[in-house]
Amino acid sequence: MTDASKLYAELITSIGEDINRDGLQKTPERAAKAFSFLTQGYQQSLEDIVNGAVFDSSNDEMVVVKDIEFYSLCEHHMLPFVGKAHVAYLPQGKVLGLSKIARITDMYARRLQIQENMTKQIADAIQAVTGAVGVGVVLEAQHFCMMMRGVQKQHSSTVTSMMLGEFRENSRTRQEFLQLIK
Ligand SMILES: [Zn+2]
């Protein structure tokens, strides 16, 4: 048994369950494996994820990747929050492989997070990797800690945004982005 699966066994026992009953025998190992997958972002770095996929380009028009689904865990309750990320940047000489934007989103999602910080981390990463004139990131998510417990609101969603450079300073750029992700 790994450390994490021992801890899951204790946790299950602590709620009064019988760890030896048929359905639960392998649960600690399965749960530990799932938890390790859901937090694998800690084992990844921006450099590894990007892996050289930054290319010279004369394109200076806005690049938008929208509706990137993500699954994260809130750092306050370790319950899921799930939603979509919309990411845009204005290149100046360099573009990033499109799938990398989704991978960067996943790397930050698969850590213990709050949505506000995750939004900023994605924006800062895109900025650092591309040297873009501006970056815009909008995240919309539903938080299970609000749905299953606490205020028990099933239909509210939380929207966070981070605008850097031109997206912060130029309202037309920002509007174009917000229009494109509607
Ligand atoms: Zn929470």
Ligand 1 centroid distance, CA of 73 (Å)? 8
Work out the burial of residue 57: count CB atoms within 10 Å of its CB; fewer than 13 is exposed, 13-18 middle, 19 or more buried. Answer: middle
Of 169 and 1, more confident: 169
Kindly tell me if the per-residue pLDDT of 1 is higher than 90. no
What's the pLDDT score for residue 113?
A: 98
Residues in the chain: 182
Ligand 1 centroid distance, CA of 150 (Å)? 9
Q: How confident is the model at residue 2 (pLDDT cuts 50, 70, 90)?
A: confident
* Amino acid at residue number 167: F
Kindly tell me if the per-residue pLDDT of 9 is higher than 90. yes
Catalytic residue annotation: 74-77, 115, 143, 145
Collapsing DSSP states into helix, strand and coil, what is residue 176? Answer: helix
Ligand 1 centroid distance, CA of 52 (Å)? 35
**DSSP code string of 92-144:** SSEEE-HHHHHHHHHHHHTSEE-HHHHHHHHHHHHHHHH--SEEEEEEEEEEH
Ligand 1 centroid distance, CA of 106 (Å)? 19
Mean pLDDT of 150-177: 96
| Average pLDDT score over the chain | 97
Residue 144: phi and psi, rounded to 5, are -65, -25
CATH number of 51-180: 3.30.1130.10
Fold assignment, 3-38: GTP Cyclohydrolase I; Chain A, domain 1 (1.10.286)
pLDDT, tens only, 20-29: 999 999 999 9
Domain assignments of the chain as residue spans, ordered by start: 3-38, 51-180
What's the pLDDT score for residue 120?
A: 98
What's the pLDDT score for residue 75?
A: 98
What's the pLDDT score for residue 5?
A: 97
Ligand 1 centroid distance, CA of 161 (Å)? 19
Answering whether pTM is above 0.85, one says yes
Ligand 1 centroid distance, CA of 82 (Å)? 12
Taking a C-beta distance cutoff of 8 angstroms, is the pair 101, 176 a contact?
no
Kindly tell me if the per-residue pLDDT of 132 is higher than 90. yes
pLDDT, tens only, 68-118: 999 999 999 999 999 999 999 999 999 999 999 999 999 999 999 999 999
